């Protein structure tokens, strides 16, 4: 099927078909009612690796708390991380903050207005630059995200492995050729992504009610499940977190995660990481923390294992609750500080920690 040949009677206008479908099926989402590049950028950062239903309330909270890029640049990082809490991939929030500061400093709070200029912003890649340039400024530059790969691979029967650089070039070239068919690049880009998100879905595409059905290579050859080709499997590293939760009265000992690792600048408990799961307290590696607990605290219990799955890591965590008798003056080990419930509530924390705290009865 040649989608571009004028001499082919079966040629259909790919862009018009998608935008026609979009007009009837699009979800009503708040970032679709704005041309403000800052809000569009916010929504794109929030929606990376996040489902729309989960990201939407965060978008609304961020727009309300930081209505301009300048206000985001001026934000206190701890407050910002607290607002982000539960969304995961916290480096996104920190990078977003850095980019906002850059825009505030270098561009007096005004977003660059072209794809080429947007690409110069720290932390803004080709996808985000294309989204902002097309949605806010109607530039004809195609977005290529996971949804777009899937739709194009299936409709055009592209067998290239989408994790390779050559495939990225192939898909990007095709996407940029297709967008030329449209007079409304903002709508076209949103249409193809929405089509991938709700019609041509990864596991069960709705082919029977699809307007591209008779032109779709995957449908005509029964290869929907095989396309797009994605060969590399992401290696998932398993980590074992033994949290020592030190409590005195209603205060809990917390500390900031300062090392370059997951959850940087979030707060958690005293952590002993091991190579394998630990079942008994005395199996934990000996060290200052363990000696401190044995001297100052009373071991009150051990939680069941809780798992938290990230893209490249699976965290298997257990929480050892240690109580320090009220009134006893102690010097906490390992940079920990006792926090009252109101302080604990305010600090940004990984969701694993938030959930454990909820299960604690005072
Ligand atoms: S026919 Fe099926 S596989 Fe092809 S574009 Fe439509 S939904 Fe996707």
- 241 SS3 class: strand
pLDDT digit string, tens, across residues 46-89:
998 889 999 999 999 999 999 999 999 999 999 999 999 999 88
Q: Which of 219, 227, 226 is nearest to 149 (CA)?
A: 227
Query: Is residue 210 lining ligand 1, measured as CB closer than 6 Å?
Result: yes
Cα gap 256→75, rounded to integer Å: 19
CATH superfamily of 14-226: Hypothetical protein; domain 2 (1.10.340.30)
Distance CA 270, CA 243 (A): 6
The CB of 336 under 6 Å from ligand 1? The reply is no
Residues whose CB falls within 8 Å of the CB of residue 171, separated by 6 or more in sequence, listed in order = 144, 148, 149, 152, 153, 158, 160, 162
Q: Which atom of ligand 1 is nearest to the CA of 210?
A: 6
Q: 């950062």: which residue's tokens?
A: 45
Name, in order, each residue with C-beta under 8 angstroms of 334's C-beta and a sequence gap of 6 or more. 255, 270, 288, 289
Measured in Å, how far apart are the chain's first and last C-alpha atoms? Answer: 67
Looking up tokens 């000992």 gives: 253
Residue 323's SS3 state is strand
Tens-place pLDDT, residues 93-111: 999 999 999 999 999 999 9
The dihedral built from the CA positions of residue 11, 13, 14 and 18, taken in this order, carries a sign that is: negative
C-alpha torsion 41→42→45→49, nearest 10: -120
Atom 2, ligand 1: which residue's CA is nearest? 207
pLDDT in tens, 306-347: 999 988 899 999 999 999 999 889 899 888 999 999 999 999
Best substitution site from 213, 220, 222, 226 to test ligand 1's pocket, by max atoms within 8 Å of Cβ? Answer: 213
Our answer to whether residue 44 is catalytic in this structure is yes
Cβ of 345 below 6 Å from ligand 1:
no
Q: What pLDDT is recorded for position 49? A: 82
Q: Which CATH class is domain 237-359?
A: alpha beta
- What are the φ/ψ torsions at residue 259 (nearest 5 degrees)? -70, 160
- Residues of the chain short of pLDDT 70, as ranges, are 1-12, 234, 361-362
Q: Is 154 in the pocket of ligand 1 (CB under 6 A)?
A: yes
The rounded percent of the chain whose pLDDT value lies above 90 is 76
Give the start-to-end residue ranges of the domains of the chain. Answer: 14-226, 237-359
3-state class of 15 per DSSP? Answer: helix
Mean pLDDT taken over the chain: 91
Helices (H), the chain: 14-25, 37-47, 52-65, 69-73, 77-84, 90-106, 115-118, 126-137, 146-156, 165-179, 185-198, 217-221, 288-296, 341-346, 351-359
CB atoms within 10 A of CB 89: 16
17 CA distance to ligand 1 centroid (A)? 13
With a 6 A CB cut-off, is 216 part of the ligand 1 pocket?
yes
The H or E element containing residue 245 is: strand 237-248
| Ligand 1 neighbour 87 (Cβ under 6 A) | no
Q: Which two tokens stand for residue 294?
A: 């044995």
- Which of 202, 205, 214 is the best mutation target for the ligand 1 pocket, counting ligand atoms within 8 Å of the beta carbon and taking the most? 205
| Ligand 1 atom closest to Cα of residue 150 | 8
């Amino acid at each position: 099927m040649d989608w571009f040949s004028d001499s082919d009677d079966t040629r259909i206008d790919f862009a018009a078909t998608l935008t026609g479908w979009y007009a009837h099926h699009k979800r009503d989402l708040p970032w679709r009612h704005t041309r403000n590049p800052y809000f569009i950028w916010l929504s794109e950062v929030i929606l990376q690796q996040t489902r729309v239903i989960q990201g939407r309330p965060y978008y609304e909270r961020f727009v309300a708390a930081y209505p301009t890029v300048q206000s985001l640049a001026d934000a206190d990082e701890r407050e910002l991380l607290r607002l982000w809490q539960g969304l995961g991939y916290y480096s996104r929030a920190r990078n977003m903050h850095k980019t906002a500061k850059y825009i505030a400093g270098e561009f007096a709070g005004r977003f660059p207005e072209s794809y080429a200029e947007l690409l110069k912003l720290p932390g803004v890649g080709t996808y985000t630059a294309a989204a902002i340039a097309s949605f806010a400024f109607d530039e004809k530059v195609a977005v290529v995200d996971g949804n777009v790969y899937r739709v194009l691979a299936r409709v055009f029967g592209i067998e290239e492995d989408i994790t390779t650089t050559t495939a990225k070039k192939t898909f990007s070239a095709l996407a940029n050729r297709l967008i030329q068919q449209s007079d409304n690049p903002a709508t076209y880009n949103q249409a193809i992504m929405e089509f991938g998100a709700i019609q041509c879905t990864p596991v069960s595409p709705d082919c029977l009610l699809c307007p591209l059905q008779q032109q779709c290579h995957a449908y005509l050859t029964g290869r929907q499940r095989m396309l797009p080709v994605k060969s590399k499997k992401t290696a998932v590293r398993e980590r074992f977190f033994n949290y020592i939760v030190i409590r005195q009265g209603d205060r809990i000992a917390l500390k900031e995660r300062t090392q370059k690792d997951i959850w940087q600048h979030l707060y958690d408990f005293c952590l002993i990481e091991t190579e394998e799961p630990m079942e008994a307290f005395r199996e934990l590696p000996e060290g200052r923390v363990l000696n401190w607990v044995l001297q100052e605290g009373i071991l009150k219990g051990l939680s069941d294992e809780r798992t938290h799955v990230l893209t490249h890591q699976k965290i298997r965590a257990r929480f050892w609750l240690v109580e320090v008798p009220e009134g006893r003056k102690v010097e906490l080990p390992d940079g920990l500080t006792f926090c009252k419930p109101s302080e604990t509530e305010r600090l940004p924390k990984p969701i694993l920690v938030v959930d454990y705290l909820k299960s604690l009865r005072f």
